[in-house]
Amino acid sequence: MRADRLLSLLLLLQNRGRMTAPELAAELEVSVRTVYRDVEALGASGVPVLADRGPAGGYRLLDGYRTRLTGLTEDEAGSLALATVPGAAAELGLGADLAAARLKLEAALPAGAGERARRVAERFHLDAPGWFRDAEPVPHLAAVADAVWRQRALRVHYRRWKGEVRRELHPLGLVLKGGIWYLVARAETDIRTYRVSRVLAAETLPGRFERPAGFDLAATWAATSRRLEEMRHQGEARLRVSPGVLRLLPAKFGAAGARAAAGAGAPDADGWTEVVLPVESLPVAVCDLLGLGAEAEVLGPPELRAAVATAVAALAARYGGG
């Protein structure tokens, strides 16, 4: 591990020029005292590290010195697929490998290209999780990812909506969607999707399994997403909404709300419009539509209008006596 750290220190100085001991310590996640020892070790090995004193001082390499020790290890090369999502790489236990790989790539680039790559990294950032939601705890993510990588079967204890189950899975791939990790795995003869945060325990089994011939993770996930969307929206609600609610529909209901707003009818004399909104099951639809308050009226279907009216009456009875 120390040899890897020394190479990282050397590449930091080569790629970024003069750096102070505290800056190096922060990048390498070690103490300043460790940086001092590592700099001495580099000097003793023949690397020309110069120490500039004063307020603008720090460590730098002798002008013109460049190392060619930039070969990627297998783990570092594998981590590059996650270069645009460093947070996800860290969750998978690949944060250190990705940092080392980026340093080596920067060192291998011509001076101008390396500087441009650093500018891009400084000016563009991808934040995968959705707004106003804490990241889900995924204590077994590293174990699941390791099984995916090594083609090892998993015995998992999993929490479903209907209760807890135990399954033996052949893990085929991981998907990060809206800040939530999903495992795509074969269970017996079916390929299914599992939310990694609901894995209560995971045991790696001996031996390797054979991946299905021609399996395509991206295509499988796209098909799964379409099925989930179809299963989620079990009906349609016909609404009469105020101009304010019409503007709110995309934010509250996502793509379904955006389609409803785009297909809105002409405003009536009060400025309200009729829309058709895909909805989930009756209880979920009632809760969602109550959130629109008095600025929306359910016109149909009759059973949904009746259910909303019943809920409104119950609320009026509960709060009316106050």
Of 47-51, 127-131, 198-202, 260-264, the one with minimum mean pLDDT is 127-131
The overall average pLDDT reported for the chain is 83
What's the pLDDT score for residue 80?
47
Strand order in 163-177's β-sheet? 190-195, 180-187, 163-177, 152-160, 199-208
264 shares a domain with 192: no
101 shares a domain with 33: yes
Question: Does residue 134 lie within any of the structural domains?
Answer: no
Closest CA to 183 of 196, 170, 164, 199: 196
Omega of the bond leading into 171 within 30 degrees of 0 (cis): no
**Total domains, the chain:** 3
Question: Does residue 130 lie within any of the structural domains?
Answer: no
What's the pLDDT score for residue 11?
79
242 shares a domain with 171: no
20 shares a domain with 81: yes
Q: Are strands 190-195 and 296-300 parallel, antiparallel or unpaired?
A: unpaired
> Residue 140 pLDDT more than 50?
yes
Domain boundary among 184, 199, 230: 230
Per-residue pLDDT reduced to its tens digit, 58-105: 898 888 777 655 555 556 545 445 554 555 556 666 566 556 656 655
> CB within 8 A of 310, min separation 6: which ones?
none
Residue pair 157/166 in contact (Cβ under 8 Å)? The answer is: yes
Using a pLDDT cut of 90, give the percent of the chain over it.
Answer: 43
221 shares a domain with 303: no
| Amino acid present at 169 | L
Question: Does residue 94 lie within any of the structural domains?
Answer: yes
Question: Does residue 83 lie within any of the structural domains?
Answer: yes
| Amino acid present at 117 | A
Per-residue pLDDT reduced to its tens digit, 233-248: 778 999 999 999 999 9
Domain boundary among 123, 156, 187: 123
Residue pair 106/27 in contact (Cβ under 8 Å)? The answer is: no
Start-to-end C-alpha separation, the chain:
68
Question: Does residue 193 lie within any of the structural domains?
Answer: yes
Question: Could you write out the DSSP letters of every residue in 281-321?
Answer: SHHHHHHHHHTTGGGEEEEE-HHHHHHHHHHHHHHHHHHHT
Better-scored residue on pLDDT, 154 or 226: 154
The residue-averaged pLDDT of 25-34 equals: 90
Question: Does residue 129 lie within any of the structural domains?
Answer: no
Domain boundary among 230, 263, 297: 230
**Alpha carbon distance 8, 101 (integer Å):** 10
Residue pair 275/264 in contact (Cβ under 8 Å)? The answer is: yes
pTM tops 0.75, yes or no: no
**Alpha carbon distance 79, 188 (integer Å):** 30
Q: What angle do CA 34, 37, 41 make, to 5 degrees?
A: 135
> Residue 193 pLDDT more than 90?
yes
**Alpha carbon distance 18, 164 (integer Å):** 56
Question: Does residue 136 lie within any of the structural domains?
Answer: no
254 shares a domain with 196: no
188 shares a domain with 288: no
Closest CA to 99 of 15, 175, 183, 196: 15
Per-residue pLDDT reduced to its tens digit, 39-70: 888 887 777 888 888 777 889 888 877 765 55
Per-residue pLDDT reduced to its tens digit, 156-178: 999 988 889 999 999 999 988 87
Quickly tell me which residue has 């909805």 as its tokens.
Answer: 279
| Parent domain of 240 | 235-320
106 shares a domain with 170: no
Per-residue pLDDT reduced to its tens digit, 272-286: 999 999 998 899 999
> Residue 128 pLDDT more than 70?
no
Other residues' Cβ atoms within 10 Å of the Cβ of residue 68: 7
Alpha carbon of 176 to those of 95, 138, 180, 229: distances in Å? Answer: 16, 12, 6, 17
15 shares a domain with 106: yes
Closest CA to 175 of 145, 212, 214: 145
